Structure 1
Amino acid sequence: MSYLVLARKYRPRNFTEMVGQDHVVQALTNALTTQRLHHAYLFTGTRGVGKTTVSRILAKSLNCQGADGQGGITATPCGVCQACTDIDSGRFVDYTELDAASNRGVDEVQALLEQAVYKPVQGRFKVFMIDEVHMLTNTAFNAMLKTLEEPPEYLKFVLATTDPQKVPVTVLSRCLQFNLRPMAPDTIREHLQKVLLTEQVQADVPSLRLLARAARGSMRDALSLTDQAIAFGSGALQEATVRQMLGSVDRSYVFRLLQALAQGDGKTVVETSEALRAHGLSAASTLEEMSGVLQRMAVLQAVPDSAQDDNDPEFAEIAQLAALMPADETQLLYSICLHGRAELGLAPDEYAALTMVLLRLLAFKPAVADGVTQEKKTLKIAPRPSPDAAAGQLKATPAQAPVTAPVVVPTLVPMPAAPAASVHAPAAVMPQGHRLPVRDMPGAPSQAPSHETQAARQPGQVAPDVPLPSAKIEAVRVHEPPDSRREIPLERAAEPVPASPEGDFWYATVQALMASEAITAMVRELALQSQLVARDTDQWLLRVERESLNQPGSRERLAAALATAGFPVRLVAEVGRVTDSPARRQAAAAAQAQLAAEKIVFDDPLVQSLMRDFGAKIVPGSIKPG
C-alpha cells in the first residue's frame, strides 16, 4: 500500500477531531442538534485551517444514516454508514465539489445548477461545495444568485474562500458566514505531539516548537513540514536537524545579539552578524526571531508576574534579558527589527543590511556616564520670575546680562461700541508684570519715559511691573467700503498719461501693426509696454521697465514688422521708467470709459429712485462700457 501523507491521514472525520476552531464547531453542532439549518454556508480563512474538512463533515452530518441504517441528521456522524464512507472517499453521488480556481466560468456554474432540479439519489440532501469561490467571474456569480437565495429544500450550498473581500455582497448576504481562524503555535504543537505519538516517531519539544512557528497558523502546513522533517531526520525529529531543514536561526545567536545591544557592545554585534554570514543563516529569519524574543521581553517587563512555562527552556534567559534592557529600548528595538525586515531587499547585501539594522539601536541608545543614564536633551522653558523679583532685580543691576522670558502672544479683546467714523485701537492683554510701552501703542502721545520705563527698554531686558501713566489713545480712522448707492467719484480714474508727439506717433504705429496682425505674442508685448524716447532716420530708441521684454529676438522681429510697415530702422532698447506707452494709454482709455458708463447709470432717475426708495444696490463690476 502506498504511503499516505500525514495531512490526509489525520484529516478530521468529525467535529470532535477538529482542532483550533471551537467557535465554528459549537455553532454547527448546535444548529445540527436543533435542526435549525441554513441553506448556504460560507467558510473563510487562510490556507490549511479546515474549510474543506468542515464542509465534508457537515455533508456527512446531513446525510448520515447511522450504523443501523436508521439514523437522521446528527452532529456526530457515525463514519461507518454508506454515506459517511462514500463522502470520505470522495465518491458520494449527492456531494459535489467544484474547484472555482479551474472552473470559474458561467458554463461550469450552470452545469452545476442544472443538477439542482433533481432530488438526491442516495442521501438525504444534495450538497454543492464550491472551493475558492472568490475566483468565479461576475457572470458566474450572477447565474447562481437566484438558486443560492431560494434553493430547493433538499439542496445545501457550502462555499469556501481565502479572500472574502472579493466575494460580492449579494452572495455574502445569502450565506451564513464562519471565519476559521489561524491556529496558535501551542495548539499546533500539541496536535503534532499526538500525531507523532500515534506514528511512534521520536521528537523533542524544541523541534515541535520550530515546526509550529514555521506553520504560521496552518495545520496542514505543520503536518507537511513534519513529514519533511521525518524524512530529513531519518525517522526522528531533533532540534538541530529541524532547524537546519527550516533554515531557522539558533536562538543562541539571538540572545547573544540582544545582550550585546543591551550592553552597548558594538564589537560583539558585528562579530555575531559575521558569524551568521559564515553559517549561511537567513538575515530575515534572524530579525524574525529577534522580534519574537523582544515581544516576550516586553510582556515580561509590562507584566512581571506573568505565568512561567515550565516546558520552555528559554524562559529564564528571556527573563534575564528583560531585566537587563530598559522597556523603552525594548520597544525601540522591536520597531527597528520590524522595519528592518522590509529594508533587507533594498540593500545589495542582506548581511550588511542586517548589521546596519542592529547598529541602529546603538546610534539611538542613550549615553551612559558613571553608571547613570544621562537625561535626553529636551527643550525646557525657564520659569517666569515674579513681578516683584523682576522689578527688584532690574533696579538693583540695570546693566546685567539679559533675562530670558517666555514669549507671550497678545490677545485682542473687544472694546465698547465706538462712533461709526472711528474705532479705538484694541488693547493688548499682557501677563501681569509685562505691559506694552505707551510709545509703542498706535496713536499714543509722545512723552518722556520714566526711569523704570527706560530700564525696561534696554535691549534684552523685560519691563518691570511698574504702573505706566494713563495716556489717551487717539481714534484711528477706519477705511469704510464704498457704498454702491453713492455716486462713484471721478477721482478714481487712472492717472492721465502725459501726451507727447513721440508717444502719439508710437501709439498710432503700434495700433496699426496690431490691426494687421504683424506682431504677436512677446513682440506685441514689447511694443505695447515700451515708450518711444527718440527717433532718428535710421535708429529708434525704446524704453521698457522689465528686462524680460528686452530680448534681442523680440527687438529683431519688431524691427522687421516696422520695416514692412515702411519704417526700416534699427531698434535700440533701454531699461527705465516708462511714462507714456500704448499699454498705459489703453488702460487710461478703458478706465475713462468705465467711469463714464457708471456715471450714466448712477445719474439715471429710475436707478436713483430704486436705490432711494427700496434700498437697491448695484453689484460691483456689473456695469460694463458699451
Structure 2
Amino acid sequence: MSYIVLARKYRPKNFAEMVGQGHVVQALGNALTTQRLHHAYLFTGTRGVGKTTVSRILAKSLNCVGPDGSGGITATPCGVCQACTDIDSGRFVDYTELDAASNRGVDEVQALLEQAVYKPVQGRFKVFMIDEVHMLTNTAFNAMLKTLEEPPEYLKFVLATTDPQKVPVTVLSRCLQFNLRPMAPETVLEHLTQVLQAEQVSAEAQALRLIARAARGSMRDALSLTDQAIAFGGGQLAEATVRQMLGAVDRSHVFALIDALARADGATVVQTVDALRFNGLSAASTLEEMTGVLQRMAVAQTVPSLGTADSSDPEAQAVARLAQALPADETQLLYSLCLHGRGELGLAPDEYAALTMVLLRLLAFKQPVRQVAAAPSPAAVEKKSLIRPPEPEQAAPVYRPPVAPPVPVVAAAPTVTVPPPPPPVVVPETAPVPVPAPPMVSEPEPMPAALPALGPDTALADASEGDFWFGTVMDLVKRELVAALVRELALQSQLLRREGGTWQLRVDRETLNQAGARDRLQTALAAAGHAVTLQVSTGPVSDSAARRLAAQAAARQLEAEAAIADDPFVQQMMREFGGKIVPGSVRPL
C-alpha cells in the first residue's frame, strides 16, 4: 500500500476534528441543526487553514443518510454511508469541485451552471464548490450572478478564496462569508503532538515548536514540514536536524544579540554577527527570530503575569531575563528596527553588514554619555565652548529646547489669565486690498517632546531648588552631555533636596525611572562639575525644567498675541475690512 502523506491522512472528516476554527464550526453546526441553510457560502483565509475541508464536511452534512440509510441533514455526518464515503474519495456525482485557477473563463462557468437545471442523482443536494474563486474573469462572475442569487432549492454554492478583496461585491453580497483564521503556533504544536503520537514517531518538543512557527498559521504546511522532517531525520524529529532543515537561526545567537544590545556592548554584537556569517546562517532569519523573542519580551514587560517562566518551554526563562535587562521603550524600538531592517537587507551589498547596521542603530539611539578621564572645571568648559562650540552628535533627531537663563521665581508666582481667542472667521474674499502678513508671525516653535499640557498660570513650586535645577539642566543640554532618555529624565524631573553628596529627584512616570538612565545622568552631572549620587523616586511633580520651559513658551505666546491685537495696522484692517485674526496663526519669533 502506498504511503499517504500526513496532510491527507489526518484531514478532518467531520466538524469535531476541525482544529482552530471553532467560530466557523459553531455557526455551521447551529445552522445545520436548525436547518436554517443559506444557498451560498464563501470561505476565506490563508492557505492550509481548512477552506476545502469545511466545504467537503458541509457537503457530507447536507447529503448524509446515516448508517441505516434513514438519516437527514445533520451537523455530525456518519462518515460510513455511501454519500460520506464517496465525497471523501472524490467520486460523489452530486458534489462538483471547480478549480478557478485553471478554469477561470466564462465557458467553464457556463458548463458548470448547465448542470444546475438537473436534480441530484444520488444525494439530497447538489453542491458546487469553486476553489480560488477570485481567479475568475469578470465575464465569468457576471455569468454566474443570477444563478448564485436564486439557485434551485436543491443547489448549494460553496466558494473558497485566499484573496477576498478581488471578489466583486456583487458576489460577496450573495453569500454568507466565513473567515478561517490562521492558527496559533500553540494550536499547531498541540495537533502535531497528537499526530506524531498516533504515528508513533519520537519528537523533541523544541523541534515541534520550530515547525509550528515555520508553518505560519497553516496546518497543511505544518504537516508537510513534519513529513519532510521525518524523512530528513531518519524517522525522528530532533531540534538540531529540524533547525538545519528549516535553516532557522539558533535562538542562542538571538539571545546573545539582545543581551549585548541591553548592555550597550557593540563589540559583542559585531562578533555575534560575524559568527552568523561564519556558520552561514541567514540574516533575514536572524531578524525574524529576534522579532519573535522581542514580542514575547514586550508581553512579559507589559503583563508580567503572562510572562512567568513556563516549565515546558526552555526559552521562557531566557525571555524573562532579557525582559528585565532591556527597558520597555527600547524593546519596542528594537522590535521596530528589526521589522524595518528586513526590508533593508536586499538593498545592501552585504546582508551581514546590513544586519550589523540594523542592530547598531539601537546603540546610536541609546546615546551613551561620552566618558571623560577627569571632569574639567566649569571655567575650563566655558572657555573651551567660547573657542570652539561643540559639534552636535550624529544621532537620531531629537528636540533641543531653546536655552534660556534661569528665571527668578518669587515665592508665589503670579498667575496669568489667558484671554479667550477671537472666533475663527475667514477674511472676506472681496477685500479691496490684500492684507500683508503681520510682521511678528513666523513658523511655529517646536515644543519639548512629551511635555504635559500646562497653561501659563501653572504655579512653580519649590522655587529655591527649582531655580538651581533648571540652570543645571539647561547647562547639561547646552553642552550636549545628555540626550535621548537621559535628557528626558533631566527635563521631566524635580529636584527635591540636596544633602551632602546626594541629590533626590522625582519623576511622574515610572518609564523614566530606569537605572541605566539614572546612571548616565549621574555621569553627565559629574562631567559638569557635580560629582553627586542621584536617588530617583516616582510621584507627583510640581516643578521641572520641562514645566518651566512650557510656562515660558505660553507667556511668549500671550505676548505675541497681545502685540498683534494691539498693532494699529491690524486694528485698522479689522475695523475697515472686517478682517479677523485666525486663531492659532500667531507664533512668537
Common topology (TM > 0.5): yes
Q: How far does residue 88 in structure 1 lie from its aligned partner after superposition?
A: 0.2
Give yes or no for contact 2:309–2:320 (8 Å, CA) kept in 1: no
**Aligned amino acid, residue 357 of structure 2:** M
**Aligned amino acid, residue 251 of structure 1:** R
In the superposition, relative to structure 1, how do residues 410 and 262 fare at CA in structure 2: closer, same or farther (>3 Å)?
closer
C-alpha RMSD over aligned residues? 2.8
In the superposition, relative to structure 1, how do residues 240 and 384 fare at CA in structure 2: closer, same or farther (>3 Å)?
same
Q: Where does residue 279 of structure 2 map in the other structure?
A: 279
Q: Where does residue 347 of structure 2 map in the other structure?
A: 346
**Aligned amino acid, residue 362 of structure 1:** L
Q: How far does residue 44 in structure 1 lie from its aligned partner after superposition?
A: 0.3
**Aligned amino acid, residue 154 of structure 1:** Y
In 2, Cα distance between equivalents of 1:423 and 1:358: 58
Give yes or no for contact 1:44–1:160 (8 Å, CA) kept in 2: yes
In the superposition, relative to structure 1, how do residues 381 and 208 fare at CA in structure 2: closer, same or farther (>3 Å)?
farther
Partner SS state of residue 127, structure 1? strand
**Aligned amino acid, residue 312 of structure 1:** D
Q: Where does residue 144 of structure 1 map in the other structure?
A: 144
In 1, Cα distance between equivalents of 2:94 and 2:118: 10
In the superposition, relative to structure 1, how do residues 322 and 378 fare at CA in structure 2: closer, same or farther (>3 Å)?
farther
Give yes or no for contact 1:384–1:406 (8 Å, CA) kept in 2: no
Q: How far does residue 329 in structure 1 lie from its aligned partner after superposition?
A: 1.3
Q: Where does residue 165 of structure 1 map in the other structure?
A: 165
Partner SS state of residue 357, structure 2? helix
Asked if 1:110 corresponds to 2:110, the answer is: yes
Choose between structure 1 and 2 for higher RCO, CA contacts under 8 A separated by at least 6 residues: 2
Give yes or no for contact 1:384–1:405 (8 Å, CA) kept in 2: no
In the superposition, relative to structure 1, how do residues 76 and 84 fare at CA in structure 2: closer, same or farther (>3 Å)?
same
- Pairing 1:72-91 to 2, within 5 Å after superposition: 72-91=72-91
Q: Where does residue 181 of structure 1 map in the other structure?
A: 181
Q: Where does residue 408 of structure 1 map in the other structure?
A: 556
Give yes or no for contact 1:332–1:361 (8 Å, CA) kept in 2: yes
Q: Where does residue 365 of structure 2 map in the other structure?
A: 364
In 2, Cα distance between equivalents of 1:77 and 1:85: 10
In 1, Cα distance between equivalents of 2:244 and 2:557: 67
Q: How far does residue 366 in structure 1 lie from its aligned partner after superposition?
A: 3.5
Give yes or no for contact 1:63–1:124 (8 Å, CA) kept in 2: yes
In the superposition, relative to structure 1, how do residues 412 and 342 fare at CA in structure 2: closer, same or farther (>3 Å)?
closer
In 2, Cα distance between equivalents of 1:405 and 1:64: 77
In the superposition, relative to structure 1, how do residues 31 and 381 fare at CA in structure 2: closer, same or farther (>3 Å)?
farther
Give yes or no for contact 1:47–1:218 (8 Å, CA) kept in 2: yes
Q: How far does residue 265 in structure 1 lie from its aligned partner after superposition?
A: 1.0
What is the aligned length? 405
In the superposition, relative to structure 1, how do residues 267 and 147 fare at CA in structure 2: closer, same or farther (>3 Å)?
same
| Cα deviation 1:21-64 (Å, max 9, x = unaligned) | 00000000000000000000000000000000000000000000
In 1, Cα distance between equivalents of 2:256 and 2:34: 58
Q: How far does residue 165 in structure 1 lie from its aligned partner after superposition?
A: 0.6
Q: How far does residue 264 in structure 1 lie from its aligned partner after superposition?
A: 1.2
Q: How does the TM-score come out when normalised to structure 1?
A: 0.62
Q: How far does residue 310 in structure 1 lie from its aligned partner after superposition?
A: 2.2
**Aligned amino acid, residue 14 of structure 1:** N
- Flag structure 1 segments of 5+ consecutive residues without an equivalent: 391-403, 416-421, 428-626
Q: Where does residue 195 of structure 2 map in the other structure?
A: 195
In 2, Cα distance between equivalents of 1:204 and 1:270: 32
Q: Where does residue 220 of structure 1 map in the other structure?
A: 220
- Pairing 1:291-302 to 2, within 5 Å after superposition: 291-302=291-302
In 2, Cα distance between equivalents of 1:283 and 1:6: 32
**Aligned amino acid, residue 170 of structure 1:** T
**Aligned amino acid, residue 32 of structure 1:** L
In the superposition, relative to structure 1, how do residues 175 and 347 fare at CA in structure 2: closer, same or farther (>3 Å)?
same
In 1, Cα distance between equivalents of 2:370 and 2:34: 72
Give yes or no for contact 1:382–1:405 (8 Å, CA) kept in 2: no
Q: How far does residue 377 in structure 1 lie from its aligned partner after superposition?
A: 6.1
**Aligned amino acid, residue 300 of structure 2:** L
In 1, Cα distance between equivalents of 2:574 and 2:151: 79
| Cα deviation 1:157-212 (Å, max 9, x = unaligned) | 00000000111111101000000000000000000000000000000110000000
**Aligned amino acid, residue 356 of structure 1:** M
Q: Where does residue 315 of structure 2 map in the other structure?
A: 314
Q: How far does residue 309 in structure 1 lie from its aligned partner after superposition?
A: 2.4
Partner SS state of residue 97, structure 2? strand
In 2, Cα distance between equivalents of 1:13 and 1:423: 83
Give yes or no for contact 1:183–1:219 (8 Å, CA) kept in 2: yes
Partner SS state of residue 305, structure 1? helix
Q: Where does residue 324 of structure 1 map in the other structure?
A: 325
In 1, Cα distance between equivalents of 2:281 and 2:87: 45
In 2, Cα distance between equivalents of 1:176 and 1:296: 36
- Flag structure 2 segments of 5+ consecutive residues without an equivalent: 372-397, 414-551, 564-569, 576-589
Q: How far does residue 408 in structure 1 lie from its aligned partner after superposition?
A: 2.3
Give yes or no for contact 1:412–1:426 (8 Å, CA) kept in 2: no
Identity %, equivalent residues: 78
| Cα deviation 1:442-479 (Å, max 9, x = unaligned) | xxxxxxxxxxxxxxxxxxxxxxxxxxxxxxxxxxxxxx
Give yes or no for contact 1:381–1:406 (8 Å, CA) kept in 2: no
- Pairing 1:3-42 to 2, within 5 Å after superposition: 3-42=3-42
Q: How far does residue 331 in structure 1 lie from its aligned partner after superposition?
A: 1.3
Q: How far does residue 291 in structure 1 lie from its aligned partner after superposition?
A: 0.9
Q: How far does residue 361 in structure 1 lie from its aligned partner after superposition?
A: 1.1
Q: Where does residue 57 of structure 2 map in the other structure?
A: 57
Q: How does the TM-score come out when normalised to structure 2?
A: 0.65
**Aligned amino acid, residue 219 of structure 1:** M
In 2, Cα distance between equivalents of 1:159 and 1:36: 19
